[in-house]
A = this chain, B = another copy of it.
């Protein structure tokens, strides 16, 4: 059994920082403090992997170590397939994961290929080597809960509680984000090791073994005037149904089990984890069938709780689609979180921007935190986030920070970090990236592009253009994935990571890429007709030929 950790410090294992950076980030994705199931190369989000298998992993590492500054490595669904001559301003790695021709783009076909060793599920940041542990989702979840409180409870979360399912790689962020936003939370999780992991890393406060016990903890917290988060060991479909029967209605209801992957990501009601593991070997169709039936039960319960007044939202795991396919015709009656709370941010290119200190030294991140505050002095909400993050978020693997900022800030911050590397303020280079869940990088009609104003939800030209433009601009690595978040058939998306090595060339590349990338998001939303995006485009001087002709 292998244990992978990224090298720290300033000594190079590859020929330059441009290749050392993807090397460390690939390894960091498989760090046992970062990945959910590192032995199986699984990083998060069901079966989201960092490389196709260990042989491919080893060969990627070997190739990165020998790669020259004018060469580019191609990675195809986690396998290193070719090295080609490019140039210094081209990406060092180009990645395509899990992409399937649409007519065949479903889990059945994918799983068949996967079994033959011909595929890999890249999720979003797993196969594109910019996962930073559960922190990566904390701020987004926090912002969403804050927005929920604003919209439904006059901004006051105190004394209220959220019901959810799933404490995995992403879902594990929910209890911390909830308490940061002032809510208590009961998070139903069927795998005790996941709850214990969240307890250990400070993401959840308490563990419970029954609904009554959990409800008592929440009640107690209300009395004490301090929010609490509880990991409840149970099946979400059972507990959601139990609440309906009991007549207890949470204030907010959502879910982050891996419903997007009915074979691997969701435990059917009445099954033990062991039974599920066995059945996955023996009868895949039976697992899928049982899982989707339980999801239908859970979604029915969510709809009932919504009708009783709970603010109910899909948290991006495609559970509504699964229930719909099981005959729950009104599954889409509760909204997805993007149209409900996040889209206005996307209109300004704001999304889950993040960076990682390749030195491994937390001080490097604290210095960048400080720099962000300096450069964005007028945003108390952001300052508050940075303070809370420093205090409450344990780093996993290489120290990293997430911070939702948009078009007007990303390139500025990137250039400042590059300057800090140049003048020695930081001990080693930093990489900057983002989730594929971002403003201009994804087409996902049940999530990021649900209910677009002009009906263009399913048009995926946009993420493809985003990837090509970031390749043209000189990001350090660029990725194009299919099926992230919501599963096979339901999304296409792209990722970037760019290196700040303190050089002038990096400064030029950062200026282009960290501007262009969020700008494509503003462009896409302006094209769809959103005023916030049109105004942002105008303010920031974007060159949008069809809009600049006068109809802005």
**Interface of A toward B, CB cutoff 8 Å:** 55-56, 59-60, 62-63, 72-74, 76-77, 79-87, 89-91, 94, 96-106, 109, 113, 116, 118-119, 443-445, 454-462, 464-465, 467-469, 471-474, 478, 480, 482, 488-492, 508, 512, 515-516, 519-520, 523, 527, 542-546, 549
Contact check, A118 vs B472: say whether CB atoms are below 8 A apart: no
From B85, B113, B467, A512 is in contact (CB under 8 Å) with: B85
Contact check, A519 vs B84: say whether CB atoms are below 8 A apart: yes
Residues of B within 8 A of A471 (CB): 468, 471-472
Known: A103-B490, A519-B82. A465 touches B74 (CB 8 A): yes
Known: A113-B459, A468-B480, A515-B85. A59 touches B102 (CB 8 A): no
Contact check, A546 vs B489: say whether CB atoms are below 8 A apart: no
Contact check, A83 vs B543: say whether CB atoms are below 8 A apart: yes
25 contacts between A and B (CB under 8 A): A62-B545, A74-B520, A76-B461, A81-B544, A81-B545, A81-B546, A82-B519, A82-B520, A82-B544, A83-B544, A85-B512, A87-B473, A87-B474, A96-B464, A99-B460, A99-B461, A100-B459, A101-B444, A103-B445, A104-B457, A109-B458, A461-B480, A464-B464, A468-B478, A468-B480
A447 to B469, CA, bound (A): 29
| Nearest CB on B from A40, distance (A) | 20
Known: A82-B520, A102-B102, A469-B94. A461 touches B515 (CB 8 A): no
Residues of B within 8 A of A443 (CB): 101
Of A96, A464, A520, the most chain B CB neighbours within 10 A belong to A464
| Nearest CB on B from A534, distance (A) | 13
Residues of B within 8 A of A87 (CB): 89, 472-474, 508, 512
Total copies of this chain within the assembly: 2
Contact check, A546 vs B59: say whether CB atoms are below 8 A apart: yes
A468 to B544, CA, bound (A): 23
Contact check, A118 vs B454: say whether CB atoms are below 8 A apart: yes
| Nearest CB on B from A407, distance (A) | 12
Contact check, A455 vs B118: say whether CB atoms are below 8 A apart: yes
Contact check, A103 vs B105: say whether CB atoms are below 8 A apart: yes
Known: A85-B512, A465-B74. A472 touches B94 (CB 8 A): yes
Contact check, B81 vs A527: say whether CB atoms are below 8 A apart: yes
Residues of B within 8 A of A456 (CB): 113, 118
Q: Which residue of chain B lies nearest to A120 when distances are taken between CB atoms in the complex?
A: B461
Contact check, A59 vs B545: say whether CB atoms are below 8 A apart: yes
A515 to B71, CA, bound (A): 13
| Nearest CB on B from A161, distance (A) | 34
Of A87, A89, A99, A467, the most chain B CB neighbours within 10 A belong to A99
Known: A454-B118, A461-B96, A461-B97. A102 touches B482 (CB 8 A): yes
Residues of B within 8 A of A62 (CB): 545
Of A97, A104, A549, the most chain B CB neighbours within 10 A belong to A104
Residues of B within 8 A of A464 (CB): 96, 99, 464, 467, 480
Q: Which residue of chain B lies nearest to A71 when distances are taken between CB atoms in the complex?
A: B543
Known: A464-B480, A469-B72. A79 touches B546 (CB 8 A): yes
Residues of B within 8 A of A490 (CB): 101-103
| Nearest CB on B from A544, distance (A) | 5
A468 to B473, CA, bound (A): 12
Contact check, A489 vs B119: say whether CB atoms are below 8 A apart: no
A91 to B465, CA, bound (A): 12
Q: Which residue of chain B lies nearest to A473 when distances are taken between CB atoms in the complex?
A: B86
A83 to B548, CA, bound (A): 11
Of A81, A83, A482, A544, the most chain B CB neighbours within 10 A belong to A81
Residues of B within 8 A of A89 (CB): 87, 89-90
Known: A74-B469, A101-B489. 12 other contacts (CB 8 A): A72-B469, A79-B546, A85-B516, A87-B474, A87-B508, A101-B443, A101-B458, A104-B458, A461-B480, A464-B464, A464-B480, A468-B478
A469 to B86, CA, bound (A): 8
| Nearest CB on B from A437, distance (A) | 14
Contact check, A459 vs B77: say whether CB atoms are below 8 A apart: yes
Residues of B within 8 A of A55 (CB): 546
From B77, B82, B458, B467, A523 is in contact (CB under 8 Å) with: B82
Contact check, A104 vs B445: say whether CB atoms are below 8 A apart: yes
Residues of B within 8 A of A460 (CB): 96, 99-101, 482
Residues of B within 8 A of A469 (CB): 72, 74, 84, 86, 94
Contact check, A116 vs B461: say whether CB atoms are below 8 A apart: no
A116 to B472, CA, bound (A): 31
Q: Which residue of chain B lies nearest to A512 when distances are taken between CB atoms in the complex?
A: B85
| Nearest CB on B from A552, distance (A) | 14
A443 to B102, CA, bound (A): 10
